Chain A
Amino acid sequence: MADVTQSGGAPRLSDMQATYMAQVSKRRLYSGITLLVFILLMVSGFRLAEARNGGSFIGGLDNFFDYPGEVVAEAVEKAGELPAHFVTFFPALLETVNIAAVSTLVGALAAVVLSLLSTRGLARFPRLVPLFRRIMDITRAVPEIVIALILIFVLGGGPVPAMIAIAFHTAGALGKLFSEVNENASLKPLEGLESVGATWSQRMMLGVVPQVAPNWLSYALMRFEINIRASAILGFVGAGGLGYELKNAISWGQGQYDEAAAMFLMLFATIILFDQLSSHFRDRLVHGRKLEMHR
């Protein structure tokens, strides 16, 4: 080895430089091509989407502020009525938040069970791990709207179809995140518990949950934030809550924009509020853990 480098000297260095430069230019070529393909995809995709759209992009840009402008103008004009609207629509808002909260709770409970059953090393039935993973993949893949619309047909409108639909999706989405957390849990407490004859559920409750609870909680809070949005949007498709009221107010058109504006404001404020709350608590959960670890 040492021989080769010594006898190599100057010509080898230039060789190396040449190969290096060749490699660099090859890499640049590849990334250039990738970039070009990406730009082409974006441009052609955009043009295709525009061609299949009701109105054009440029034409729409001019009117972009028309609707918000009208809404704001009307809301300002009838500013005195806004507090009354807030009171009127508060129950609907509460329903939207309740849908999100219940579905997060139910989904998270299901996710806990699913994730424990599908983590190697913790699973109750190690052979069924792939089965539970596939179950989570499928529940995660089903968009909420599908289940909500079908349940609306069977159960009639209202908050329950939306709640079940969101909980279903949450179970899969959180289950995957939870099982990633579980994989990092130490198995030593489990061995200790097993040696004193603890059952599976006792081992999980006493050995795993205390280790992973902060991370679980943090993910669940994040999910709650997402679920508020989902619950509002499902309401728009007919599943109750603020989304449903919003749809009605919008379809009445001009003259009722003050109601729409009130609901826009309420939804916006709620989302921001829970965003801030959840990020505050998540910060504390994760930071608290970090401090303990440093000590």
Chain B
Amino acid sequence: MSATPMNKSMSDTDALMAQTATLFQRKRMVAFGVPALILAYFVYVFFAFDVPGLMSRASAENARALVADTYSYKVHVTRDNRDGAVEVAIEGERKGEYPEGESPEWVEMGRDTVIDLGGGHVVVFGPETISYDVPGYGMIRATPSRSKGVVQEFPTDDLPAWINSSKNRLAITTEAGRLSVTRNRSEVFRYFTGWELFFFTLDSPYHGMSVGQVVGRALGGEAGEIWEDFWHNEMWRHRDVMWAIFETILMAFLGTMGAAIVALPIAFMAAKNFAPLKTVRFGFRRLFDFLRGVDALIWTIVLTRAFGLGPLTGALAILLTDTGSFGKLFSEALENVDDKQIEGVQSTGAKPVQRYRFGVIPQVTPVLLSQVLYYLESNTRSATIIGAITGGGIGLLLTQAIITQKDWEEVTYYIVLVVLMVIFMDWVSGMLRRRLIQSDDAGH
């Protein structure tokens, strides 16, 4: 009697063992197979993307210039070798030029221009000869001439790596700065830490004042002028930048809210419980798929042709794409509506419009609002990219600054602002979500 159940349980155990073994086999396959597949894919992509070629093309020089420029700036002292005129300009820009006869204290103007680069490095622009006294190396002389190129004298015969010399050009790069001499031009760069002229340009009376002094002046009734000088700073264009940020947020806001307004009524036509006709439902769902599938990029291109460049075009591109996304999300939310509430409203003799207003809308509002606010935040980021294509907002400024490839401090400034903008929108949308959808949060 007792043998049969024993046998049975034994065979059960065997079966279980076998089952477990196969299960383990499969698990092991997955555990090794999936990483192996991913690895194989990475190897394929490594060659498909030509990473080895990219590494050889990558420019460490560019990277260094970029990083250095984000936290430092250079002042150019330039001598026109044909007429002997010397100019001092921050970043070599017209907007950063020192007025005639003025110069920073480390540049002494006169018959000879003496440029003290600090640490004992001194460059002198003489009437004929340019000399650079490098501590620990000696005096380097260069005489630009029409006929013979740049005539150069060095204290040693073997040139160190930081000197780049050819018949028509001399370039010296030391830790204190950089000197380059060609037939037409002699130029010295001196590097300083910080963002130059961020608050006031050289033509402003407030340039060079300490924070205390400026605050004192502001309290003394000059706040308006101080603000004007800062706001219209030509170098950093604070006013345009703030406008651009505002424009980007505007694009995101108009696009998202417009899409929500357009999508809400249409979503009813795509929801099973509100649109009994299958063909209608099918048609609207495909419309949403189409709007979403065409994607913001193609909409942007098409709309730019019709409406020209600018923020409106960007807003409309976001509006069209997100009408598709919202239509889909809203109709799904509407399909999950509880019928009991609608029946309750109906039992009080409510007309269809009232049934929607009091039976449906209160149920879906939290879901809808939370989706819309989430998209608002994410669209702020999209608006930055779309702005770069449609020519509006901070995206445009950013691409322009990057394309010129020299104003990296401005690029850094814009990036910081963009990040702050996105974090701000994230915060706003999170706060609104909590405020407006308290019931939803309490439920969790």
Contacts and interface: CB of A to CB of B under 8 A. Distances in A.
Contacts, number: 178
Given A52-B311, A66-B305, A149-B402, A142 B415 contact: yes
Nearest to B423: A141
Contact of B426 (A141, A145, A153, A268): A141
A190 interface: no
Given A46-B254, A272-B289, 17 more contacts: A45-B250, A52-B310, A53-B308, A53-B392, A67-B302, A138-B419, A142-B418, A144-B385, A145-B398, A150-B411, A155-B54, A156-B54, A160-B49, A233-B295, A233-B296, A243-B297, A268-B298
Interface residues of B, number: 63
Given A145-B388, A160-B51, A229 B254 contact: no
Q: Which DSSP category, helix, strand, loop or mixed, fits chain B's interface?
A: helix
B78 interface: no
B311 A53 contact: yes
A228 to B, nearest CB: 9
A48 interface: yes
Tell which of A41, A56, A236 has the most Cβ of chain B within 10 Å. A236
B419 A236 contact: no
B387 to A, nearest CB: 9
A49 B311 CA distance: 5
Given A49-B310, A145-B384, A237-B388, A153 B402 contact: yes
Interface of B: 38, 41-42, 45, 48-51, 54, 57-59, 62-63, 66, 247, 250-251, 253-254, 257-258, 261, 289, 292-298, 301-303, 305-313, 315, 381, 384-385, 388-389, 391-392, 395, 398-399, 402, 405, 411, 415, 418-419, 422-423, 426
Interface in A33-51: 38, 41-42, 45-46, 48-50
Interface stretch (A8-16, A21-29, A57-65): A57-65
A150 B405 CA distance: 9
Contact of A102 (B45, B257, B258): B45
Given A67-B302, A159-B49, A145 B395 contact: yes
Contact of A229 (B297, B313, B415): B297
Contact of A61 (B257, B306, B418): B306
Contacts of B293: 268, 271-272, 275
Contacts of B398: 145-146, 149
Contacts of B45: 98, 102
Nearest to B385: A145
A64 B303 CA distance: 7
Given A45-B253, A52-B392, A229-B296, A67 B62 contact: no
Contact of A57 (B49, B62, B307): B307
B297 A54 contact: no
Contacts of B49: 95, 98, 102, 158-160, 163
A229 B379 CA distance: 13
A232 B297 contact: yes
Nearest to B314: A49
Given A98-B48, A160-B49, A149 B399 contact: yes
Contact of B308 (A55, A146, A149, A243): A55
A97 B207 CA distance: 52
B306 A264 contact: no
